[in-house]
């Protein structure tokens, strides 16, 4: 067996948690039942990986087998990766199909990326592929966004408001109580229009890049530098969309939220570039 293939398998085995080792090697399908039972899963990880490589050599494992093990691992632990969405189009204007593709590490050669893109285009009979401004660790949520499988009429975790337990409300003017109820109902309706009333896809961040030019009177000559001011703002949360949805009901923001925050799912992007035009700012969003 080629040394590169052996090292590829060894490194993949080292990444697999010990508790999942037996199940994953069984799923891999390279070893017989007797070989699987002969593997000592309780030994040091390094020795375990060498034993797996030795059995692979006996079975004549190839680079294809090594790649299959890597795919099995990455699919099982897909939430450990940051995934990027790519979109492929056809020349004849047929319906577009969106593919999910793992975000390559920086050391991955650009030439190899180009070869892989060309291979995908040839295999799927498409004419173009380009990266979308949409990334997340949750692959299933990315699929829900690009295939529009979100905001179904599913009950939220707590569809009925909690009963007020503060007895002092009995002494409050009923008009104030009614006004508060009306305000909460208005916020709920606005929130439902912006985010829907179902479960939301899971994204970890939204990024906004601002480019603008400072302006001043010509005679001042202080801010005449043509180089734009650049600023990067990132909102992050284990579940960003749910966090944004909860801001207005919690009194931490005014409803409706900015279009830049509510368009993430409809526009299928969580990376925005806001640039300055003569008539104002442009953020690549549809006109409202």
- The reported pTM is 0.53
Residue 154 has pLDDT above 60, yes or no: no
Give the pLDDT confidence score for residue 177 in this predicted structure: 73
Give the pLDDT confidence score for residue 90 in this predicted structure: 72
Confidence grade of residue 153 (pLDDT, cut at 50, 70, 90)? very low
Give the pLDDT confidence score for residue 276 in this predicted structure: 75
Which residues are 233's β-sheet partners?
208
For residue 59 the two structure tokens come to 């079975």
Q: Which residues are CB-neighbours of 24 under 8 A, at least 6 positions away?
A: 16, 69, 72, 73, 76
Confidence grade of residue 221 (pLDDT, cut at 50, 70, 90)? low
Give the pLDDT confidence score for residue 157 in this predicted structure: 38
- pLDDT tens, 7-39? 999 999 999 999 999 999 999 999 999 999 999
Q: What CATH number should be reported for the domain whose range is 168-282? A: 3.10.20.720
Residue 269 has pLDDT above 80, yes or no: yes
Give the pLDDT confidence score for residue 254 in this predicted structure: 84
Give the pLDDT confidence score for residue 235 in this predicted structure: 92
> Considering only CA atoms, which of 169, 261, 273 is closest in space to residue 231?
273
Give the pLDDT confidence score for residue 274 in this predicted structure: 86
Mean pLDDT of 125-144: 81
Confidence grade of residue 161 (pLDDT, cut at 50, 70, 90)? very low
Q: Is the dihedral of CA 143, 149, 154, 156 positive or negative?
A: positive
Strand order in the sheet with 97-102: 97-102, 83-89, 128-136
Confidence grade of residue 211 (pLDDT, cut at 50, 70, 90)? confident
CB 14 within 8 A of CB 46: yes
For residue 41 the two structure tokens come to 């899963």
Helix ranges (H only) for 209-277 are: 240-247, 259-262, 264-267
Q: Residue 48: helix, strand or coil by DSSP?
A: helix
Residue 62 has pLDDT above 50, yes or no: yes
């Amino acid at each position: 067996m080629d040394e590169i293939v052996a090292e590829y398998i060894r490194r993949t085995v080292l990444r697999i948690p010990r508790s999942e080792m037996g199940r994953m090697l069984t799923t891999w399908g390279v070893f017989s039942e007797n070989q699987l039972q002969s593997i000592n899963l309780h030994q040091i990880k390094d020795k375990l990986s060498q034993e797996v490589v030795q059995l692979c050599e006996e079975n004549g494992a190839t680079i294809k087998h090594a790649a299959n093990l890597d795919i099995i691992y990455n699919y099982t632990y897909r939430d450990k990766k940051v995934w990027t969405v790519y979109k492929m189009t056809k020349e004849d204007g047929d319906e577009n199909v969106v593919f999910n593709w793992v975000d390559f590490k920086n050391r991955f050669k650009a030439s190899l990326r180009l070869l892989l893109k060309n291979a995908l285009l040839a295999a799927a009979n498409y004419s173009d592929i380009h990266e979308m401004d949409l990334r997340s660790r949750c692959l299933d949520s990315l699929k829900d966004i690009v295939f529009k499988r979100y905001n179904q009429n599913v009950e939220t975790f707590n569809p009925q408001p909690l009963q007020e337990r503060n007895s002092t409300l009995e002494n409050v003017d009923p008009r104030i109580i009614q006004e508060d109820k009306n305000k909460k109902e208005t916020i709920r309706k606005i929130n439902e229009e912006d985010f829907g009333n179902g479960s939301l896809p899971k994204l970890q961040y939204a990024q906004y890049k601002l480019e603008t030019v400072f302006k001043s009177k010509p005679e001042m000559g202080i801010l005449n530098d043509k180089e734009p001011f650049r600023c990067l703002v990132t909102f992050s949360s284990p579940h960003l969309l749910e966090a944004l949805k909860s801001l207005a009901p919690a009194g931490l923001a005014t409803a409706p939220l900015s279009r830049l925050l509510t368009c993430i799912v409809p526009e299928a992007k969580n990376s925005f570039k806001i640039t300055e035009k003569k008539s104002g700012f442009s953020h690549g969003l549809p006109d409202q």
